[in-house]
Amino acid sequence: NAGVTQTPKFRVLKTGQSMTLLCAQDMNHEYMYWYRQDPGMGLRLIHYSVGEGTTAKGEVPDGYNVSRLKKQNFLLGLESAAPSQTSVYFCASKGLGTGPNTGELFFGEGSRLTVL
Amino acid sequence: AQSVTQLGSHVSVSEGALVLLRCNYSSSVPPYLFWYVQYPNQGLQLLLKYTSAATLVKGINGFEAEFKKSETSFHLTKPSAHMSDAAEYFCAVSFQGGSEKLVFGKGTKLTVNP
């Protein structure tokens, strides 16, 4: 099973450039999330989605946009990249309801972005 | 508001020694609690979780954690550390049941010395 797949895994951008990170999940999960991970900061939620066509802001949404046009995909966009957005980005997904996987987030392997 | 505090950003133990990673939480309703592990250059994977059943939860790789409501704690332990346990560990909390969001602690990096 693929689970949660992120592309690209590595990217270097110049300040002001734009890019999109793609997250795809094959578990039919309702919820999807974008986090960023920085040293000593843990994981901080950027945006999330509770279903196809919905998005919501997390803890650190500024400078990012997201879209969830299809249930299985969650895109994270940077319109004008800044050095402060240099980070490792993780996508995660979660299913609804009860059962052995209740509440559990499934993570992708991360996308390392460097903004020069 | 929910929050998670992990005491100690770095913990170092000898191989074979007890591992204790501390996590305290604040939540206005009964929480779901999680421990995730992240090996270098990888994503996070679930170690164990508490979802209001047994207070002592056993996870993968010999880890376990005990939910103590009176202390608002969910500390992670392993009786005997192995070199392969070296990783970063994250505690996380969500509302029981339907919350969309998981709030993570800042992580504890575990080093295991030979």
For B92-108, how does the pLDDT look when each residue is reduced to its tens digit (9 = 90+)?
988 654 557 788 999 99
3-state secondary structure of A8: coil
Q: Does any CB of chain A come closer than 8 Å to the CB of residue B40? A: no
Write out chain B residues lying below 8 Å of A42, CB-based.
90, 104-107
Q: Which residue has the tokens 């969910």?
A: B74
Burial classification of residue A116, based on how many CB atoms lie within 10 Å of its CB (0-12 exposed, 13-18 middle, 19 or more buried): exposed
Instruction: Spell out which residues of chain A touch residue B44, defining contact as CB-CB under 8 Å.
Output: 43, 90, 92, 105, 107
What are the backbone dihedrals phi and psi of residue B27, each rounded to the nearest 5 degrees, phi first? -155, 140
What proportion of chain B, given as a percentage, has pLDDT over 90? 68
Distance of alpha carbon A79 from alpha carbon A65, whole angstroms: 8
Query: Are the C-beta atoms of B15 and B81 separated by less than 8 Å?
Result: yes
Contact A43, B90 (CB under 8 A): yes
Mean pLDDT of chain A: 92
- Using pLDDT thresholds of 50, 70 and 90, give the confidence band for residue A102: low
Nearest CA in chain B to A44: B104
Q: What is the mean pLDDT of residues B8-36?
A: 91
Residues A114/A90, Cβ–Cβ less than 8 Å = no
Residue of B nearest to A5 (CA): B43
* A91-103 mean pLDDT: 75
The per-residue pLDDT for B99 is 59
Query: B-chain residues within 8 Å CB-CB of A33?
Result: 101-102
